[in-house]
Amino acid sequence: MGKFGKWLAGGVGWALFGPLGGIVGFGIGAVIETVNDTKTKVAIEGPTTVGDFVASLLVLIAAVIKADGKIMKSELDFVKQYLVRQFGENDAREALHMLRDILERDIPVDDVCYQINYNLDYSSRLTLLQFLFNVSLADGHIHINELRVIEHMADCMGISQNDFRSIKAMYYQDSDSAYKVLGIEKEATNDEIKKAYRRLAVEYHPDKVSYLGEDFQKTANEKFQKLNEAYDKIKKERGIN
């Protein structure tokens, strides 16, 4: 087991317990007992680490990539670019090998997402969801089966319907996209619009995921910018000061 595997195995806490640990353990040679009860929640004391997040990410990336029945090189390349930026060439190669190992496994998506829901903070879950949309879009379009898997993951991870629709609206543009990005209806009052913007501006602030590194701060910042663009567009349309 190389540097990346040792870092992952030594750095993660709750991620190496339960179904998530069973899958990641396969890739790094760890002996972790898989919890089969889909309603089991594993509570491990201590803050979420980058290792916890990346372990979660690798497993969910594999589930999204497999959703349309094809493993696309463009999607793997997108993931590789992130891993290279985050860990360097050598460790990225090892992480990709781990991802390919995970791709060969049957992934208990519900179990894994319940574990992530219970242990990972909400802002990090939102950033993880947005990253999965980016992976899906890497081949130029989001396959309907990938969208269904991502939506199901969001539900199991405890992400609200409004927040899911808000992130989805970044990738599906229509005449009401600005309202969808803010998670509100077009008929919303000006006060409701301001309230929705203030809530999301706090929820998606890039500083909330600063511990995950520059790449995920950049992902969060993309959402933050979309929120501001949507809010500015609505204000201009309605003449809101």
- Which band of pLDDT confidence, cut at 50, 70 and 90, is reported for residue 133? very high
Do 182 and 155 have their domain in common?
Answer: no
Do 9 and 127 have their domain in common?
Answer: yes
Tokens in use for 13? Answer: 């806490």
Strands (E) located in the chain: none
pLDDT in tens, 23-40: 776 544 433 333 333 334
**CA pair distance 20, 16, nearest whole angstrom:** 6
Q: Residues near 208 by Cβ (< 8 Å), separated by ≥ 6?
A: 121, 123, 124, 220
Do 169 and 187 have their domain in common?
Answer: yes
Query: Does residue 158 register a pLDDT over 90?
Result: yes
Do 155 and 167 have their domain in common?
Answer: no
Calculate ∠ Cα 113-164-12, nearest 5°.
35
Nearest to 17 by CA among 49, 52, 46: 52
Q: Provide the residue range defining the domain that includes 215.
A: 162-241
Do 133 and 206 have their domain in common?
Answer: no
Answer whether 0.85 is exceeded by the pTM: no
pLDDT in tens, 40-76: 444 444 556 667 777 788 889 999 988 888 888 888 8
Domain of 177, CATH number, reads: 1.10.287.110
Do 21 and 94 have their domain in common?
Answer: yes
Do 102 and 220 have their domain in common?
Answer: no
User: Of 104, 134, 159, at which residue does a domain stop?
Assistant: 159
Do 183 and 207 have their domain in common?
Answer: yes
**CA pair distance 94, 90, nearest whole angstrom:** 7
Q: Which range (32-46, 173-187, 196-210) has the least confidence?
A: 32-46
Do 122 and 172 have their domain in common?
Answer: no
Domain count, the chain: 2
Do 119 and 1 have their domain in common?
Answer: yes
Residue 28: exposure state from Cβ atoms within 10 A (0-12, 13-18, ≥19): buried
